[in-house]
Structure 1
Amino acid sequence: MHNLRPALLTDHYELTMVSAALRDGTADRRCVFEVFTRRLPPGRRYGVVAGTARLVDLLREFRFDSAEVGFLRDTGVVDGPTADWLTNYRFSGDIDGYPEGELYFPGSPILTVSGTFAECVLLETLTLSVLNHDSAIAAAAARMVTAARGRTLIEMGSRRAHEEGAVAAARAAYLAGFGFTSNLAAGRRYGIPTAGTAAHAFTLLHDDESAAFASQVAALGNHTTLLVDTYDIAQGIRNAIAVAGPELRAVRIDSGDLSVLAQHSRELLDSLGATETKIIVSGDLDEYAIAALAAEPVDMYGAGTAVVTGSGAPTAGLVYKLVEVEGRSVVKRSEHKATVGGRKVAVRRHKPSGTATEEVVVSQGVPQPQPNDRPLQRAYVSGGEPVELPTLAESRAHLRQCLISIPWEGLKLSAGDPTLPVTMVPAS
């Protein structure tokens, strides 16, 4: 399924720690690591968990073959005993965490990895690589979905991303509520609906715009989208309707003042009898640009660069920290990077109406139950074996419900405090 084997998608120092721990006898100590963020990206009021199912898929393949072990030994990364240990490596611990599509806030324990120190520490880089990328994309995409106010969005950012990152970004955007992706690999791998018709190059290939439109309609029928801004947009619309007829599905505008152009295009389409022809806009759209078009006659948005780069926040800022050793809470006390020790259990508190009010996180215990509490963690891996996971469609629905449940102020695009406070209850 994946082009890269995951075992070496890790950092040198993880294997250095394993080697030292094997030598001093601490490698088999039972440990708990947690993934969380200390702060949200500037301007954000919530985060969105995404990528956990991808991580579990990668974990199935997390093995060191003879060539990989040979590379590590030959380059001096590991010694003989560590090489032997890696040859037999299988993760046998547990992974629990927030479901994909769940909202998170500073301090939320979104993933918990428990097992021996050696087997858990090896997963740090892979875990953070997947979750930091996918959660950043999903959070940005969710803000775009909110800004679109029910209008359909197409993810089209593949050419602005690493080839594998583009597939993961398409999945995260779809989880967040986008309706389509242009990426065919994502369509095949995850069952995401794909969409796309033609670029400006296709129009320029032909002797004139009408010839290009006629060719596209001949191949795809009038249930297609014609790109009308290669030359003059108004004339492009006239040519499109002359060729495809008033039953043309849609026209796309990819440049210019989209607000003014959408208004003029709607008026012109209506005057030509194409009252049902939709208007699709694209061209460096982010959540703010989409929100600015809310009152305009736009039917669909195509977003690319801003999606795959997290709309200015390309990483979620998640960290992977040791919080418990042999049942004993451990705490990093650095002045600016302190952690709360002990394994955490989290619940989301709600009013009887269903509106969320706070997140309660308890260290080395469980929250005192209250009516309308919702537990936030679920099992992903038990005893080294993945458990059945929600489908991508179910995760989409979960995020939709989460966004409905938070106070409406939390959906604003303006900067502000996190939507919900996180109350941390230390071990008693």
Structure 2
Amino acid sequence: MSNSTSPSTALLTDHYELTMLEAALRSGTAHRRSVFELFPRRLPEGRRYGVVAGVGRALDAIESFRFDAATLEVLEDVVDEPTREWLASYRFSGDVWGYPEGEAYFPHSPLLVVESTFAEAVLLETVLLSIYNHDSAIASAASRMTLVAGDRPCIEMGSRRTHEEAAVAAARAAYVAGFATSSNLAARQRYGVPTAGTSAHSFTLLHDSETDAFRAQVASLGAGTTLLVDTYDVEEAIRAGVEIAGPGLGAVRLDSGDLAVQAVQVRALLDSLGASSTRIIVTSDLDEFAIAALAAAPVDGYGVGTQLVTGSGHPTCGFVYKLVARASDSGEMVSVAKRSVDKVSVGGRKYALRRRSADGVAEAEVIGVGRAPTDDGDDRSLLVPLVRSGEIVGRESLDDARARHLAARAELPVAAQQMSRGEPVIPTVTVEA
């Protein structure tokens, strides 16, 4: 699917990307062959693995990175006329390799390798970091939630707790990491994310009685609907709901109080009324720890909002985008690296594989500098082509990314399932050429 008619993404960037371009064009270095890499120096503190998300959105952004007349007009006081003339014909013509969407990542994983001229590649820095840092943070949190939820579905419902556009991206990333549905209709329209929803407390309060509200909802949505039962008295609401919908009532939702205790009481009441198949859905500021605490409760699904769309305490992944190799005056590619204290980068083009045991369990993240690491037969290569000579080649469906995530998570050691703070579940090993 082409995104060529989408709004330009060229101004989703920082001022200094363009001033660097202008200076490089003047000095004659703008067209040097260059390799940039997007990678994490570390995982968010206490996390044992991360999840790559936003790849599809990043490819759309690269394709729509164009400087049309309206965009160039904004830049009249930013860069000089020769630079604007160069930007007018900008089209990324290089190659991009990367971890596919849904893959697990670890410290120093080369999530993106961008090979092009300095001028073409440097302009993509901010927009790529913006997408990857946000979407991967959401997917990493979502993965922990779906991991502890097990077979019980998680519903994304955080749209009202974040920026309206971030909400759409969050719904997409959560779906990649195993969430079953979202409340966000824009995510349904743009990305095909399944959506679900029934009613809020305001719908009950609109009616003269809770019974009237339930009758109206069941008449419209059928007996399989989900009734919100904690507006007034939970027990009375459940009795009324089962009386109106019958024992085939789809579900009841609890949004306040001690959810574990209430779930036990509600399950007993439903069963006593013959509604043994009616599911119990819980919401109310859930995170992975709250979901884990409800594992023994008779809960059938979780609605997650604020903690998901804020990355459950880690709203960004700390990814960076660094120049690691460039052509010399003679045309030979040379490694370059930043040496700042606490912000060291490793020069040279990277390759990566997931070292696995004979049983298929991940043992290490192996990063080859300047060459691909040797596969001992059980390993899995991680970088795939995403852009080739400027053409997008790495698009795939969200369902493919979702399936990849489940497979990548399943091959991690058992310690990945622990919600307690800890070190990365596998080490990162760097192999020099």
**TM-score band w.r.t. shorter chain:** over 0.9
Q: Offset of 1:390 from its aligned partner?
A: 2.6
Measured after TM superposition, the shift of residue 388 of structure 1 is 4.3
Q: What is the identity, as a one-letter code, of the residue corresponding to 2:161?
A: R
CA deviations on 1:150-194 (whole Å, 9 max, x unpaired) are: 100100000111111111100000000000000111112111111
User: Residue 59 of structure 1 aligns with which residue?
Assistant: 62
Q: Which whole-Å CA distance do the structure 2 matches of 1:148 and 1:308 have between them?
A: 17
Q: Which residue in the other structure is 1:414 paired with? A: 420
Contact 2:51 2:105 in 1 (8 A): yes
One-letter identity of the residue aligned with 2:116: G
What is the identity percentage for the equivalent residue pairs of Structure 1 and Structure 2? 59
2:190 maps to 1:189: yes
Match of 1:44 among 42, 47, 53: 47
* Aligned-partner residue type, residue 24 of structure 2: A
CA drift of 1:369 comes to 2.5
1:124: Cα distance to partner?
0.3
1:4, distance to aligned residue in structure 2 (A): 5.3
2:85 and 2:188 map into 1 onto residues whose CA distance is 40
Q: What is the distance in 2 between the residues matched to 1:411 and 1:54?
A: 28
In 2, are the aligned partners of 1:340 and 1:426 still within 8 Å (CA)? no
In the alignment, the residues of structure 2 paired with residue 35 and residue 179 of structure 1 have an alpha-carbon distance, to the nearest angstrom, of 29
Aligned position for 2:251:
250
1:128–1:318 CA contact under 8 A, matched in 2: yes
Partner of 2:241: 240
- State how 1:323-402 maps to structure 2 within 5 Å: 323-326=324-327, 327-402=333-408
Letter of the structure 1 residue corresponding to residue 68 of structure 2: D
Q: Kindly indicate whether the alpha-carbon contact (under 8 Å) linking 1:284 and 1:306 is maintained by their aligned counterparts in 2.
A: yes
Contact kept, 8 Å, 1:209 with 1:236, in 2: the verdict is yes
SS in 2 for 1:348: strand
Alignment of 1:170-185 (within 5 A): 170-185=171-186
Task: Give me the whole-angstrom Cα distance separating, in 2, the residues matched to 1:67 and 1:275.
Answer: 61
Distance 2:269 2:46 in 1: 39
**CA distance in structure 1 between the aligned counterparts of 2:394 and 2:154, rounded to whole angstroms:** 30
Give the equivalent residue in structure 1 for 2:310: 309
Task: Provide structure 2 residue ranges, at least 5 long, that are not aligned to the other structure.
Answer: 328-332
The residue aligned with 1:169 is: 170
Shift of the alpha carbon at 1:368? 2.1
Between the aligned partners of 1:246 and 1:369, the Cα distance in structure 2 is 57
**1: distance between equivalents of 2:29 and 2:411?**
45
Match for 2:424: what amino acid?
P
**Structure 2 matches for 1:192-341, cutoff 5 A?**
192-326=193-327, 327-341=333-347
CA displacement 1:327-373 (0-9 Å, x = unmatched): 11001111211111000011111111110111111111121221211
Question: What's the counterpart of residue 133 of structure 1?
Answer: 134
Q: Which runs of 4+ in 1 moved over 2 A?
A: 1-5
| Distance in structure 2 (CA, Å) of the matches to 1:361 and 1:257 | 47
> 1: distance between equivalents of 2:402 and 2:255?
28
Which residue identity is paired with 1:120?
Answer: A
Greater CA drift, 389-398 or 177-186: 389-398
* CA offsets 1:276-335 (integer angstroms, 9 cap, x no match): 000000010000000000000000100011111101100011000000001110011112
Q: Secondary structure at the match of 2:342?
A: coil
Task: State the match for 2:153 in structure 1.
Answer: 152
The DSSP-based 3-state class of the residue aligned with 2:429 is strand
Distance 1:58 1:124 in 2: 11
Q: Distance in 1 between matches of 2:125 and 2:63?
A: 16
The CA deviation at 1:391 is: 1.4
TM-score (norm 2): 0.97
| More moved, 409-418 vs 8-17 | 409-418
* 1:324–1:341 contact (8 Å) kept in structure 2: yes
Secondary structure at the aligned position of 1:139 is classed as helix
CA RMSD across the alignment: 1.1
Number of positions where the alignment pairs a residue of Structure 1 with one of Structure 2 = 425
Contact 2:36–2:322 (CA under 8 A) maintained in structure 1: yes
Is the contact between residue 47 and residue 104 of structure 1 (CA under 8 Å) also seen in structure 2? Answer: yes
